[in-house]
Chain A
Amino acid sequence: MGAAVFFGCAGIAFGPALALVLLTVAAEPLRVIILVAGAFFWLVSLLLASLIWFISVHLSDQEDARLQFSLLVFGAAVSVLLQELFRFAYFKLLKKADEGLAMISGDGRSPISLKQMAYVSGLSFGLISGVFSVINILADSMGPGIVGIHGDSPYYFITSAFLTMALVFLHTFWGVIFFDACEKRRYWCLGLVVASHLVTSGLTFLNPWYEASLVPIYIIMICMGAWAFFTAGGSFRNVLKCLSCKRQEDSRVMMYSALRVPFED
C-alpha cells in the first residue's frame, strides 16, 4: 500500500498505453480527437449495459445472492456485446468521416488512413476501458489498508494492473482486426473478435485463480497481437527492415513546383 504500490501498478497498467499515446497519437490533432471520441462511444455502451443490468437487478429479488451473481455475469456479457456493437458504430462513423475528409482535402486523399483510425480507436477503447476498471482501485491503493485481510487474494492490486495492461493491448488489437474485417467484409473475423472478447471477459470470472485467468488471457493477447500485426500489413521482412534501420529510397518521382496551381473543378 502507499505510493509505491500506486505508482507501480499505475505504471504496469498504463505505461505501455501512455507510451503509445505519447509517441503516436499526441502529435496529431486528428488522432487525439478520434481518441476522445472513441472513449465517448465506449462510455455510451457502458451506460446502456449498466442501465440493462440496473433494471434487471431492481426487477429481481435482491436477497438471492446466486441470482445476483448470475445477473452480474449476464450484465458483463451484455456489456461485451454492446461494446462490440459500438465499435461497429464507431467504424461506420469513422468511415463516413474519412470520406468527408478526403472530399474536403486539397489532393483528394484523407489526412489519415483507415488503418490508423482503426489503431487509434482500438487504443481509445482500451484506454477508457482500462481506466474505468482500475482507477478506483488505484486510488484506494494510495491509502492505508491491508489487502486480502478477509481471506481474499493478497495479489489483488498487481493482478488488476496486469489484467488492465492486457485489456488495453487486447482492445487495440481487436480494433485493428475489427475494422479490417468490416472493411473487407470478413464476417468470420468479426465473430472471432467478439468471441475472443467474450472468452477474455469470461476468463476473468475465474479470478482469483490467477493461473487459469491471467495466463490464458496473455496467450490470447499474444495471438491477437500477431493477428493484428499481419492484418495491418506487417511481415517478418518489415520487422527486419525496421530493425536494421536502413533508409529506403522513395521510388516515386515527385513533381515539385513552387506555386501550386489550384485544381480546376
Chain B
Amino acid sequence: MTELSAHLPQFQHGQLTENFPDNHLSNTNDNSERRRHDNSARRRNDNPESETNGQPQNNIQQVVEQDDEEDEELTLKYGAKHVIMLFVPVTLCMVVVVATIKSVSFYTRKDGQLIYTPFTEETETVGQRALNSILNAAIMISVIIVMTILLVVLYKYRCYKVIHGWLIISSLLLLFFFSFIYLGEVFKTYNVAMDYITLALMIWNFGVVGMICIHWKGPLRLQQAYLIMISALMALVFIKYLPEWTAWLILAVISVYDLVAVLCPKGPLRMLVETAQERNETLFPALIYSSTMVWLVNMAEEDPEAQRKASKNSTYDKQAPASQPQNDDAEADDGGFSQEWQQQRDSRIGPIESTPESRAAVQALPSNSQTSEDPEERGVKLGLGDFIFYSVLVGKASATASGDWNTTLACFVAILIGLCLTLLLLAIFKKALPALPISITFGLVFYFATDNLVQPFMDQLAFHQFYI
C-alpha cells in the first residue's frame, strides 16, 4: 500500500481487498481473484509544509492565516494536475482492457465460473436468474468483508510476515501465471508461432522485473506500468469469470461497501488507516498506484527538530533524504540547522534567530503536512482496486453492450468525471474518501441508459444519416 510519512492526515480510500492466506489450497483462478482483493485504494493529499515558517516579522496569527490560504491555494492549484495524473493511468488501464476484450475472444468466452459465484445464470426464468445473481453477489461481498476484517486483524496484531508473504505470493501469481495465460491467448488470436524457450525467457524477465519494481525499487514509470498491467490482468479475469447480472450487482454493492467501510467510524478500512497512522508505519507495498516517488522519511513524533529540519530542507532543497545525513552532525543547539543551511537561509530571507521559543512557536502551528516531498512533486495515490473495478465496468460495457462503442465511451467519460468529482471532494474535505462510489454510480447509470435509450436513438439516426 502506500508509503506513508510520519503523519497521515488524509487518506482517500477506495477499495480494500484482502490477501487470502490459504491460496495453496484452491485453484489459481481463486487466487487471482483474491489477488484482486489485495488492492486497496488510498489517496493521500498532503498539504505542503507551510513555506512561511521562516518569515521573521509576521506574527503567529498572520502566519497561520497565510498558511491556510496558501494551503488552500496550493491544494487547488495542484488539483488539476493531480486529476490528470490519475486520468492518464486509469485511461491506459481501460484502453488495455477494452483492446483485449475486442480482439482476444478468450476473455468473452464463457468457461465456467469462480467458486465465489456458484449459482449459474443459465436459468429458465428471469426471476430465478435474478435470485441467483443476488446470491452470487452476496457470497462475493461476504467473502470480501471477511477478508477485509481478517486483514485488519492481522495488521492489528502485527502479523506482518503473514501479510507480506500473502502479498508476494499473490503478485507472483499475477505476474507469472496470468501474464502467461494472457500472452498465450494473444498469440492464439494472432496466430503467432512461439516456442516454449522464448516464452519462458519472456515471462521470466517480465515477472522478475515486475516483482522487483513493485515490491522493492525501480524506475517510477516502470513501476506504474507494471501496476497498470496487473490491474488490467485482474480486471480481465473478472470480466471473464463473472456472469453478467452478477457482475453489475457486485459493482453496485461494492461501491456501497466501499462507502461504508471508509466513512463509518467502525469501518474496517478506516480502522486500518488509523492503526497505520498511530504506528507511523507504511502500509502494504505494491497495492497503491502512486503518481510520484515518495521520499519516505521515517520520523517519530518525539523528534520534532529532526522532523522540522527534514521538512524545511524539502522546501529549499529537493534532495530531502540526501540532505538528512548532512544535518545529522550539526550542532544540537542551533536546532539542528547546519551552518551552510543557515547562511543560505539568511541570504534568502534575512537573519533569523532560531531559538527554542521560536521553534516551539513554529511547532505549535497547525501543520498539515508531514511529508518531506517537494510540494511540486507531491503526487496522488489511487488503489489498484479502483483501477480494477473501473476497468471491469468499462470492459463489461464493451463486451456485452449492444450499443458497442457508444456505451463504452459513455461509461469511460462517466468514470473520469466521477474520479474528477471525487478528487474535488478530497480537496474540499481533506479526509479519507472512497474512490469507487461516485464513478461506479455514474458508470452504471450511463451504461444502462446508453445501452437501452441512447443506442436505439443513435442507431435510427445513423441509419438515415441524420446528425444532431
Contacts and interface: CB of A to CB of B under 8 A. Distances in A.
B72 interface: yes
Interface in B78-93: 80-81, 83-84, 87
A72 interface: yes
Contacts of A205: 464, 466
Nearest to A207: B465
Contact of B454 (A46, A105, A160, A164): A46
28 contacts: A29-B81, A33-B83, A33-B84, A33-B420, A37-B420, A43-B410, A43-B413, A43-B446, A49-B457, A50-B456, A53-B457, A54-B453, A72-B464, A76-B461, A76-B466, A76-B468, A101-B76, A104-B73, A133-B468, A135-B405, A136-B404, A136-B406, A136-B458, A139-B404, A163-B465, A204-B465, A205-B464, A262-B70
B11 to A, nearest CB: 23
Given A54-B456, A76-B466, A135-B405, A33 B80 contact: yes
Given A39-B413, A54-B457, A259 B349 contact: yes
B31 interface: no
Q: Which 8 residue pairs are nearest across A and B when measured between Cβ atoms?
A: A29-B80, A207-B465, A50-B453, A29-B84, A50-B457, A204-B467, A50-B454, A135-B405
Interface string A68-103: 000010011001100100000000000000000100
A136 B457 CA distance: 13
Interface string B217-253: 0000000000000000000000000000000000000
A80 B468 contact: yes
A36 B466 CA distance: 25
Contacts of B80: 29-30, 33
Interface string A232-265: 0000000000000000000000000011001010
A36 B420 CA distance: 9
B403 to A, nearest CB: 8
Contacts of A43: 410, 413-414, 446
Nearest to A124: B413
A79 B453 CA distance: 13
A7 interface: no
Contact of B462 (A30, A39, A133, A200): A133
B465 A47 contact: no
A249 B162 CA distance: 67
A89 to B, nearest CB: 15
Interface of A: 29-30, 32-33, 36-37, 39-40, 43, 46-47, 49-51, 53-54, 72, 75-76, 79-80, 83, 101, 104-106, 111, 128-129, 131-133, 135-137, 139, 156, 159-160, 163-164, 167, 200-201, 204-205, 207-208, 258-259, 262, 264
Given A29-B84, A32-B87, A36-B413, A133 B467 contact: yes
Nearest to B62: A264
Residue from B87, B406, B413 with most neighbouring chain A CB atoms (10 Å): B413
Contacts of B420: 33, 36-37
A259 B87 contact: no
A163 B462 CA distance: 12
A136 B83 contact: no
Contacts of B467: 133, 163-164, 167, 200-201, 204
Interface in B426-464: 446, 449-450, 452-454, 456-462, 464
Contacts of B62: 264
Contacts of A33: 80, 83-84, 420
Interface string B395-427: 000000001111001100110110010000000
B29 interface: no
Given A32-B87, A201-B466, 6 more contacts: A29-B81, A40-B413, A54-B452, A133-B462, A137-B462, A205-B464
A29 B449 CA distance: 29
B73 A105 contact: yes
A76 B467 CA distance: 8
A132 to B, nearest CB: 6
Contacts of A36: 87, 413, 416-417, 420
B164 interface: no
A162 to B, nearest CB: 11
A165 to B, nearest CB: 11
Given A43-B446, A50-B454, A131-B409, A72 B461 contact: yes
Contacts of A167: 467
Contacts of A131: 409
A51 B453 contact: yes
A107 B457 CA distance: 48
Nearest to A134: B462
B156 interface: no
Contacts of A160: 465
A80 B62 CA distance: 53
Nearest to B450: A47
Given A50-B453, A72-B460, A201-B468, A106 B413 contact: no
B417 A37 contact: yes
Nearest to A30: B80
A47 B405 CA distance: 16
Nearest to B75: A104
B344 to A, nearest CB: 13
B52 interface: yes
Contacts of A39: 413
Nearest to B453: A50
B348 interface: yes
A128 B413 contact: yes
Given A36-B420, A104-B76, A259 B457 contact: no
Contacts of B452: 54
Nearest to B416: A36
B468 A79 contact: yes
Contacts of B406: 132, 135-136
B291 interface: no
A205 B52 CA distance: 64
A48 to B, nearest CB: 9
Contacts of A200: 467
A135 B409 contact: yes
A247 B349 CA distance: 37
B318 interface: no
B90 to A, nearest CB: 11
A264 B61 CA distance: 12
A159 B465 contact: yes
Contacts of B410: 43
A204 B66 CA distance: 58
Interface string B334-358: 0000000000000011000000000
